[in-house]
Amino acid sequence: MATPVTPAEASPIAPEIPPAIDMAEDVRHFSAKLSAYLKPEEVARVEAAYAFSATAHSGQLRSSGEPYVSHPLAVAGTLADWHLDPQAVIAALLHDVMEDTAITKQEIADRFGKSAAELVDGVSKIDRIENQSYEEAQAENFRKMLLAMARDVRVILIKLADRLHNMRTLGAVPVEKRRRIARETLDIYAPIANRLGLNTLYRELQELSFLHLHPLRHNVLAKAVKKARGNRRELVGKITETLRRRLPEAGIEAEVMGREKHLYGIYRKMREKHLSFSQVLDIYGFRVIVKDIPTCYLALGTLHGIYKPVPGKFKDYIAIPKANGYQSLHTTLIGPYGTPVEVQVRTAEMHHVAESGVASHWLYKDESALSELQQQTHKWLQSLIELQSASGDSAEFLEHVKVDLFPGEIYVFTPKGKILGLSRGATAVDFAYAVHTDIGNRCVACRINFELMPLRTELKNGDRIEIITATHANPNPAWLSYVKSGKARAQIRHFLKTQQQGESAALGERLLGQTLAGLGLHLADIVAGVWERFLRDRSAKSKRDVLTDIGLGKRHAAIVARRLAAAREAEGGTPVEHKPRGAITIRGSEGLAVQLAKCCRPIPGDPIVGIIRKGQGLMVHTHDCRSIGKKHHERDNWVDVEWEPNTTQLFEVGIRIVAENRRGVLAKVAAEIAAGGSDIQNVSMDDDRSMYTTLNFTLQVSNRVHLARLMRGLRHIPEVLRITRTKE
Ligand code: MN
């Protein structure tokens, strides 16, 4: 983020203060840093980027009153300290130009190459999501989102250097903003630095955050530590002297360093363990650096011989490194006067990794070594695996690193700013089910970043998703073809199954009622006792199961009806006389249990026949449909059906129109269909470039009368030669 920018001309006091803060010295210093590890032509390219940035930001000032370009220069300086490649340093110099000036990504690519432009773009994208508010409890997800969005580790490194400089210069910023930025740094950026093993940076970010978040506590603690340092100087000197003498005596060549614990660490310990400052004894630590791993363990043994170790405090991060690659042996010794002292033992290489973490693997050598991003990433992961290979489960370790840097997950915002993690490729439907099953079941549309989008849209990191629901909406079976998450898939299936069972049970009840009527019985005549006897004899679970089975065609309504009649007589019911059975009426709104055959597309008014097939429910065909009637043995499955007198649904029907192949004929036909009160579901055209063309429509009509009226209207169009209803 660009910390407060004030265009010079907007400042009322600008004319009195000449913007004569000289950057020349800083630039010379920066160039010297670059020359230490880059070739002259690379240094020249980076310097050109500086000049470009200075021009782009000219006239802008920071809150401190310095020229704005001092900020990108400082950020690039940090990357140069880390010896990062020229593209990364160039990107650092330009990291704010896309957000704060009119410069485009293309312009950067043209001048400084695609790679630098991608990096600048990556940083700008993170700046944009940073502006979304996040809930404190969601810091972990926010960090993952940042890492997922960055893709290239260098984007994160630029972002961290950016944050470091903003934190170092936070004093000039208003108090409220200062606190917010400090909080965010502590929650988001310091842990990322830690995750990447950038320890020096991690500690400085924590110290600065602590200073700006709790200035009073920070000052009190700083004074106390200063005082304690005076008191314990003698102690520290004594331990240092002892170690420097005794280790070589044991044949160990070692560098011994005293190390002051940082304030935030002490503060956190006091808070977490409810200690007063005087109770926090180990404000000093020591570091012993040796030449190789065996010597680490030798040194440890020697240390334990000099001072007694505190039991349970020993940790072997050499055998089992931390996830960020950190390695060392940690032990706490009981020093002179019973003061506990923490000692870390490590090799020089481990020390280097501990201080600069991932950046140490990015050390820039020369152009030929800088290959594709993926290779570099691979190399970095590889080095982590090598660190790990000493022991432990490296597959799990690699998985851990991958999850954080190259996740199979994406992170998106709810309208209230909550962050949800979804698997890569997830759609708006997956999101809806992730929020709540009811939201998923009732979703009809979505807005992604405030724009209406199809539900099947694949979501991207940082998207803001709003789901639009309707009270009576149901899941669509088509969603199953694109949802990614197991939860969404399971919920959609569950809903459809339950729905179909409900519909099948209703159909089964109607089928059974119809058949019972043929026996002179009514469903109401079958009382609970009769059902119980029936269920017992047939070892069926429930009445509902039996009805569902009938609706699905798994049981024959006629057989169930006969057995129910028998059970009724066995229970003492009086025999009844047989009556002719009536037909099942079809409304067209039965849902999945009753389907109108696609081959003949029956509409109200057509003579129809129902066919019930095992597990499929009832299929309704027109009487003359060619797909039925060939197999006589199937007639057992036929069900007498007729249309309900006043259906209110719309039904799909196919018509074929042969017309003269003239311009605008389709428009005329479509207009006539609309005028006739029908909707076009589908249209196809045989374009054979001859004099005549065939148009195939699928329309929605109420019934045969409606269709007849529509066709009459269409015949009046002069170009139309022939109209037929299609059945195939
Ligand atoms: Mn910045």
Residue 558's pLDDT band (boundaries 50, 70, 90)?
Answer: confident
pLDDT digits (tens, 9 = 90+) for 446-475: 999 888 888 999 998 778 899 998 888 888
- Distance in Å, CA 72 to ligand 1 centroid: 6
CATH class belonging to 216-356: alpha beta
Lowest model confidence (mean pLDDT) among 274-278, 391-395, 403-407, 413-417: 391-395
- The residue ranges of every structural domain in the chain are 19-196, 216-356, 494-643, 651-726
Residue 17's pLDDT band (boundaries 50, 70, 90)?
Answer: very low
- Distance in Å, CA 352 to ligand 1 centroid: 27
pLDDT digits (tens, 9 = 90+) for 477-502: 889 888 988 889 888 988 888 888 88
- Distance in Å, CA 91 to ligand 1 centroid: 11
**Domain covering 19-196 assigned CATH 2.40.50.140 in the classification:** no
Return the sign of the alpha-carbon dihedral for residues 461, 462, 463, 466. Answer: positive
- Write down the pLDDT at residue 536: 84
377-382, Cβ contacts within 8 angstroms, sequence gap of 24 or more: 377/152, 377/153, 377/405, 377/406, 380/153
Q: What is the DSSP string of 515-550?
A: HHHHTT--GGGS-HHHHHHHHHHHT-S-HHHHHHHH
Residue 148's pLDDT band (boundaries 50, 70, 90)?
Answer: low
Tell whether the model's pLDDT for residue 20 goes beyond 70.
Answer: no
Higher pLDDT, 307 or 275: 307
Tell whether the model's pLDDT for residue 610 goes beyond 50.
Answer: yes
Higher pLDDT, 166 or 325: 166
Mean pLDDT of 320-329: 79
Q: Could you say which DSSP state residue 244 is in?
A: H
d(CA 393, CA 404) in angstroms, rounded, equals 17
End-to-end distance of the chain based on CA atoms, in angstroms? 65
Structure tokens at 228: 């304690």
d(CA 446, CA 432) in angstroms, rounded, equals 9
Per the listing, tokens 């800083």 go with 26
Mean pLDDT of 191-220: 87
Tell whether the model's pLDDT for residue 423 goes beyond 60.
Answer: yes
- Distance in Å, CA 189 to ligand 1 centroid: 14
Residue 112's pLDDT band (boundaries 50, 70, 90)?
Answer: very high
Per CATH, the homologous superfamily of domain 651-726 is: ACT domain (3.30.70.260)
Q: Exposed, middle or buried, 541 (CB in 10 Å: 0-12/13-18/19+)?
A: exposed
Mean pLDDT of 7-22: 46
In the predicted model, what is the mean pLDDT of the chain? Answer: 81
Active site residues: 99-100
* Selection from 107-116, 170-179, 345-354 with the highest mean pLDDT: 107-116
- Write down the pLDDT at residue 271: 85
C-beta separation of 425 from 459 below 8 A = no
Q: Angle 543-552/557-570 helices, nearest 10 degrees?
A: 150
d(CA 646, CA 644) in angstroms, rounded, equals 6
C-beta separation of 712 from 676 below 8 A = no
Mean pLDDT of 279-287: 75
- Distance in Å, CA 94 to ligand 1 centroid: 9
- Write down the pLDDT at residue 5: 43
- Write down the pLDDT at residue 634: 65
Q: Give the pairing of strands 284-290 and 340-347.
A: parallel
Higher pLDDT, 44 or 588: 44
- Please state the separation of Cα 223 from the chain's center in Å: 46
- Distance in Å, CA 380 to ligand 1 centroid: 26
pLDDT digits (tens, 9 = 90+) for 63-82: 888 899 999 999 999 988 88
Q: Could you say which DSSP state residue 3 is in?
A: -
- Provide the percentage of residues in the chain whose pLDDT is more than 90: 26
d(CA 656, CA 401) in angstroms, rounded, equals 61
- Distance in Å, CA 90 to ligand 1 centroid: 13
- Write down the pLDDT at residue 525: 82
Mean pLDDT of 608-619: 80
C-beta separation of 706 from 678 below 8 A = yes
Higher pLDDT, 689 or 526: 526
Residue type for position 172 = A
Q: Exposed, middle or buried, 308 (CB in 10 Å: 0-12/13-18/19+)?
A: exposed
- Distance in Å, CA 231 to ligand 1 centroid: 42
Mean pLDDT of 27-47: 92
- Write down the pLDDT at residue 526: 85
Tell whether the model's pLDDT for residue 416 goes beyond 60.
Answer: yes
pLDDT digits (tens, 9 = 90+) for 654-681: 999 998 888 888 888 988 998 888 888 8
pLDDT digits (tens, 9 = 90+) for 367-405: 444 334 334 444 444 444 344 333 343 334 333 443 344
- Distance in Å, CA 162 to ligand 1 centroid: 5
Q: Exposed, middle or buried, 25 (CB in 10 Å: 0-12/13-18/19+)?
A: exposed
- Distance in Å, CA 71 to ligand 1 centroid: 7
pLDDT digits (tens, 9 = 90+) for 434-446: 999 999 999 988 9
- Distance in Å, CA 427 to ligand 1 centroid: 33
Number of Cβ within 10 Å of residue 149's Cβ equals 19
